[in-house]
A and B are shown apart, each in its own frame.
Chain A
Amino acid sequence: MSLKQDTFSRAFFKRGDLWAILALLLIAAAVYGFSLWRGRMPEGTELSAEITLDGQVAETILLTGHPDEIFTLDEEPNVTFEINQGRIRFINAVCPDKLCEQSGFLDAPNETAACLPYRVAVRIVASQAASDVPDVITG
């Protein structure tokens, strides 16, 4: 096994690097813009939280108008959620890195957070609010 070694003095920085980095940043900005566009909420949008376990939808909760609540899923008692003012977040997952807790509140369509150790994810889904006007009235 021969030793491969930089036999020349490698530059730390080259001018061309700027373009490559700029390209990466542009991609980031484009994706961010796209997700903002996807997350736009027209009048009367209702938000729901879609909670998945192992990629399967375990529960869908209507967030709009939902009373503040702290709860766990029956299927996964180790992960706790909090609903506050129509937003949802992970709190207090029983896992070492607690990464999910830092995702913060989700409150726009397609925002997603995941607790990897338990493979629990929550995604915000938008739907048009059902009209309050009934089709017919009795009485």
Chain B
Amino acid sequence: MKKNKIVRWVITVLIILILAGALGYLFLTLSQQRAEEEQRQQNLQQEETPYTQQDFAMDTLIVQSIYGDLGEEAAAANKTLLDDLENKLSMYKQDSEISQVNAKAGLTEVRRLEVSDDTYNLLVRGKELGEQTQGLFDITIGPLSRLWNITGENPQVPSEDEITKTLSYVDYTQLSFDDSNHSVRLQKPFMQIDLGGIAKGYACDKIKASMAEQGVTSATVSLGGNVLVIGKKPNGEDFSVGIRDPFGGDNDIMGTLAAPDKILATTGAYERYFEQDGKVYHHVLNPRTGYPCETELASVTVISEDGTLADCLSTTFYIAGKQAVLDNLNNHEEFALIAIDQDKNVYISDSLKDSFTLSEGKGYTLAEGNA
């Protein structure tokens, strides 16, 4: 009888142990899953807020959003940097270096002007880009910009004669450099340099370098159509960069892109334009025709680590048109493209496809590859 009792208890304890073991294992795994989920939720909730600052500089709204303790200092430093660049590079500021170069256009060799490193380097780069784009991007487009004056108070369509005359002053090859003393000279009178097509991209490059020096590892800066992304958010997620919906309002987007450590530049006709006699004249002037470019594209976004290149190419591809975009969609390592045509077809480089999310319900379709 006593032996029986012991056997019973041993069996009972054994069963309880087996059950407890299996159940324990299950609940351990389950609670682990739960902990992972909670962690994920917490990461979403406990989002650190960045320091944000809005300024007006370089003829556009600058929005800086910087994570970390250095946010305010860095933003102030960037603002100083931008003001400094504007004072050197703007053709609309009387005493800027560019204005001085323009004022001395066509004067003798002796009057060539020494300029700062920023101005010199950007002019050299601008001329190179002119060569690379066969003049479709031309930094001596100044006279044409002034003639159309689309950003001005009362823009008008110029006469054909005026345009023909003005086009003769647009020729980047007539810009000459002397590397020994960083001096530049426009060789023909009436020529004018307009760095509007690359200055903001160059500013992105400068800010990127400056922030790296200051130790900022997580930030976004937007300068009009140009966006600089530094690193990722503190929670490890990518910043999501909205691509403006060219057929929508200021804050409408047609998709988002995760673009860590890239600079994005977008050109579209929706930015600045005027209407005359029922026709829309936008601000992207074709240096070959002298008129706002005729294009089947609604916008072009160029993604690159080189802000100057991105800024230049977004304008250039916008002017060059859809076929040029398709021809260059996937064969360049230094930049990638997102282009939208008037029929809301989206052309996107293969390298971006995984990080791009198309907004739903806006009528956009991803076009298939290289036509």
Contact = CB atoms under 8 A, between A and B. Distances in A.
Residue among A65, A126, A134 with the highest chain B CB neighbour number at 10 A = A134
Interface string A104-139: 000000000000000000000111101010111111
Interface string A48-65: 000000000000000001
A135 B253 contact: no
Residue among B256, B266, B360 with the highest chain A CB neighbour number at 10 A = B256
Contacts of B157: none
A139 B246 contact: yes
B301 A136 contact: no
A138 B225 contact: yes
Interface residues of B, number: 33
Majority-rule SS of B interface residues = strand
Contacts of A65: 360
Given A135-B233, A138-B243, A139-B301, 7 more contacts: A128-B41, A134-B256, A136-B65, A137-B243, A138-B225, A138-B242, A139-B268
4 tightest Cβ-Cβ pairs between the two chains A and B = A139-B244, A134-B242, A139-B266, A137-B242
29 contacts: A125-B37, A126-B37, A128-B44, A130-B240, A134-B241, A134-B256, A135-B240, A136-B65, A136-B220, A136-B222, A136-B227, A136-B239, A136-B241, A136-B242, A137-B241, A137-B242, A137-B253, A138-B222, A138-B226, A138-B241, A138-B242, A138-B243, A138-B244, A138-B301, A139-B225, A139-B243, A139-B244, A139-B246, A139-B299
Interface of B: 34, 37, 40-41, 44, 63, 65, 220, 222, 225-227, 229, 233, 239-244, 246, 251, 253, 256, 264-266, 268, 271, 299, 301, 359-360
Interface of A: 38, 65, 125-128, 130, 132, 134-139
